[in-house]
């Protein structure tokens, strides 16, 4: 009855399943790879799914994308956990460079932000071209507004737009003057759109994520086309002088490809239902 | 618009990306359970059969750690494995290895705590017999583990359930990298955030089916074992 063998068999049956494929796991097979810290917008919009296979085909390099908000992506790079950062908040990128964590910033592409809102349009701002006026109206009417609240590029852009409208969100929050209409969820773009869809709220989104978003419900674009809604993406190699583990040659190869005519064309070619999501502009020195 | 059936379609058409995700989920969670068993079962048995100062505090702590939040486990492993952390030189952050370690941290307390309880109950039952037979400490441990073997399968399944279900730890230390560290649960989180709720719920159905299959296999192993052992 006390059979060690049978007990061990029972246990072994369970355990044997586990390491079965460890040797063939992708983890051990890949050495020609880089880690890119990027934003939820580039991943959720499907852009990486389109361009990375083309890059891999050409160079054999695997690009592992960790999709986070811009602020978190830059922090990941600061700790040395990524080789390249590909984000969209120029002021935060400049700070990253000034601290010595980045080698050089290259502009890659742009799209624009759009203000999304419910069909019922409780603030009555649909069809406007003036984002600042629209935000002011939302606050006046205390219409529900979803904020990313996660230091992402979109969150930074949103806070800047509120500032242009003369509203300092951070300050109002501190002094508890901000009403419950402003809901700060601390999550990614997709989650923010889901929340807006569920609660008939307004939300600022990048156009790429919006176009690929599938759970729209009653949501639609209410304000677009304002120059201040411009959304620029930049790419930087993490400074090998700060973190010796950075794969500088492979990382630079990826950057060079992104800004090459071939990479720029791959970005321009990415479309959803015939609509282009990102516009390459690596040649623009002011971008 | 995708439908929940489109997830089923991925199964029926043998979508390689889906199979890679399923394989990685099983690889990570089963490896974590195996390692946690190698640590947790001896540890639980040891605590059950020895008396030392502060033993009750250890038991309370172990029981409490069964409720360790996955995000906290993920964060701890993240800080350890980050390039700027003490184990950064390994370069394991954002790899399947990191995900296994994080799940070992979650599963070991469950296995150790439940093993401790099971062995201790058995010990009360067998104490006189084993003492009379003059069996040494190591012999006692082996005898009791052997006798508890079928309960231990259930304990391992509890650990596997915890590992297979969690997303908080592996999404932090794995980074949810497409084709590399994306598992069933992180894929479900991603599809939810992309608003593809039908695909997300379809993937959820597949995950539940896999967990049922693993449990059925374990049940069969247990039944066979019982039949052989009489």
pLDDT tens-digit series, residues A1-42: 345 555 545 545 555 444 444 444 444 444 799 999 999 889
Domain extents in chain A: 32-110+232-280, 112-229
Tell me whether B222 touches chain A (CB under 8 Å). yes
Tell me whether A215 touches chain B (CB under 8 Å). yes
Provide the domain count of chain B: 1
What is the DSSP annotation of A228-269? GGEEEEEEEEEPTTT-TT--HHHHHHHHHHHHSHHHHHHHHH
What is the DSSP annotation of B93-155? TTSHHHHHHHHHHHHHHHHHHHHHHHHHHHHHHHHHHHHHTT--HHHHHHHHHHHTHHHHHHH
Beta bridge partners of A105: A236
In a domain, B211, yes or no: no
185-214 in chain A: CB under 8 A from chain B:
187-191, 193-194, 197, 212-214
Q: Which of B20, B27, B153 sits opposite A22 (nearest CB)?
A: B27
In a domain, B9, yes or no: no
- Residue A13 has a pLDDT of 52
Tell me the pLDDT tens digit for each residue of A203-226: 999 999 999 998 999 999 999 999
Return the residue of B nearest to A192 by Cα. B193
In a domain, B219, yes or no: no
Tell me the pLDDT tens digit for each residue of A104-153: 999 999 999 999 999 999 999 999 999 999 999 999 999 999 999 999 99
In a domain, B206, yes or no: no
Tell me whether A31 touches chain B (CB under 8 Å). no
Tell me the pLDDT tens digit for each residue of B18-55: 899 999 999 999 999 999 999 999 999 999 999 999 99
A170 vs B105: CA distance, rounded Å: 38
In a domain, B7, yes or no: no
- Residue B228 has a pLDDT of 84
In a domain, B135, yes or no: yes
CATH code, A112-229? 3.40.190.10
Looking at residue A128, what DSSP letter applies?
B
Mean pLDDT, all residues of chain B: 92
Question: Directed axis angle between helix B16-49 and helix B96-132, to 10°?
Answer: 30
Tell me whether B40 touches chain A (CB under 8 Å). no
CB pair distance less than 8 Å for B194 and A44: yes
Q: Is the pLDDT of residue B1 over 50?
A: no
Tell me the pLDDT tens digit for each residue of A49-84: 999 999 999 999 999 999 999 999 999 999 999 999
Tell me the pLDDT tens digit for each residue of B72-96: 999 999 999 999 999 999 999 999 9
- Interface ipTM: 0.84
Q: Is B126 or B59 the better-scoring residue by pLDDT?
A: B59
Q: CATH number for the A32-110+232-280 domain, one of 3.40.1160.10, 3.40.50.300, 2.40.50.140, 3.40.190.10? A: 3.40.190.10
In a domain, B92, yes or no: yes
Q: Provide the domain limits for residue B92.
A: 17-185
Please state whether the predicted TM-score (pTM) of the whole model is above 0.90.
no
A96 vs A93: CA distance, rounded Å: 5
CATH number of the domain where residue B158 is located: 1.10.3720.10
């Amino acid at each position: 009855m006390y059979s060690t063998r049978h007990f061990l068999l029972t246990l072994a049956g369970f355990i044997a399943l586990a390491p079965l494929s460890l040797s063939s796991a992708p983890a051990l097979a890949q050495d020609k790879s880089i880690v890119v810290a990027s934003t939820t917008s580039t991943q959720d919009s499907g852009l990486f799914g389109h361009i990375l296979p083309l890059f891999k085909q050409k160079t054999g390099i695997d690009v592992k994308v960790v999709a986070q908000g811009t602020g978190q992506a830059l922090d990941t790079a600061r700790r040395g956990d990524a080789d390249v950062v590909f984000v969209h908040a120029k002021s935060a990128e400049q700070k990253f460079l000034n601290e010595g964590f980045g080698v050089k910033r290259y502009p890659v592409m742009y799209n624009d932000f759009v203000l999304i809102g419910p069909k019922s349009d409780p603030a009555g701002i649909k069809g406007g071209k003036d984002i600042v006026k629209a935000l002011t109206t939302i606050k006046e009417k205390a219409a529900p507004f979803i904020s990313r609240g996660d230091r992402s590029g979109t969150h930074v852009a949103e806070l800047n737009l509120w500032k242009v409208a003369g509203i300092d969100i951070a300050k109002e929050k501190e002094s508890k003057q901000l009403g419950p209409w402003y809901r700060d969820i601390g999550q990614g773009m997709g989650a923010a759109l889901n929340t807006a869809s569920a609660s008939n709220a307004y939300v600022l989104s990048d156009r790429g994520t919006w176009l690929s978003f599938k759970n729209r419900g009653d949501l639609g674009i209410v304000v677009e086309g304002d120059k201040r809604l411009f959304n620029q993406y930049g790419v930087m190699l993490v400074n090998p002088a700060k973190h010796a583990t950075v794969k500088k040659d492979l990382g630079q190869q990826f950057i060079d490809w992104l800004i090459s005519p071939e990479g720029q064309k791959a970005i321009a070619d990415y479309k959803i239902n015939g609509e282009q999501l990102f516009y390459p502009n690596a040649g623009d020195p002011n971008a | 618009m995708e439908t929940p059936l489109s997830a089923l379609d991925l199964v029926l058409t043998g979508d390689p990306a889906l199979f890679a995700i399923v394989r990685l989920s099983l690889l990570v969670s089963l490896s974590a359970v195996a390692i946690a068993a190698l640590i947790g079962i001896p540890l639980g048995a040891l605590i059950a059969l020895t008396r030392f100062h502060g033993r009750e505090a250890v038991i309370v702590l172990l029981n409490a750690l069964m409720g360790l939040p996955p995000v906290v486990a993920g964060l701890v492993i993240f800080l350890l494995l980050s390039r700027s952390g003490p184990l950064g030189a390994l370069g394991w952050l954002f790899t399947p290895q990191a995900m296994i370690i994080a799940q070992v941290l979650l599963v070991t307390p469950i296995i150790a705590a439940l093993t401790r309880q099971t062995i201790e109950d058995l010990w009360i039952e067998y104490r006189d017999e084993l003492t009379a037979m003059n069996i040494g400490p190591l012999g006692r441990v082996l005898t009791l583990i052997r006798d508890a073997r079928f309960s231990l399968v259930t304990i391992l399944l509890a650990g596997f359930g915890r590992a297979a279900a969690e997303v908080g730890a592996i999404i932090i230390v794995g980074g949810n990298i497409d084709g590399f560290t994306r598992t069933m649960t992180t894929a479900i989180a991603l599809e939810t955030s992309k608003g593809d709720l039908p695909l997300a719920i379809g993937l959820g159905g597949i995950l539940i089916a896999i967990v049922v299959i693993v449990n059925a296999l374990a049940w069969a192993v247990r039944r066979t074992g019982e039949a052989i052992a009489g």
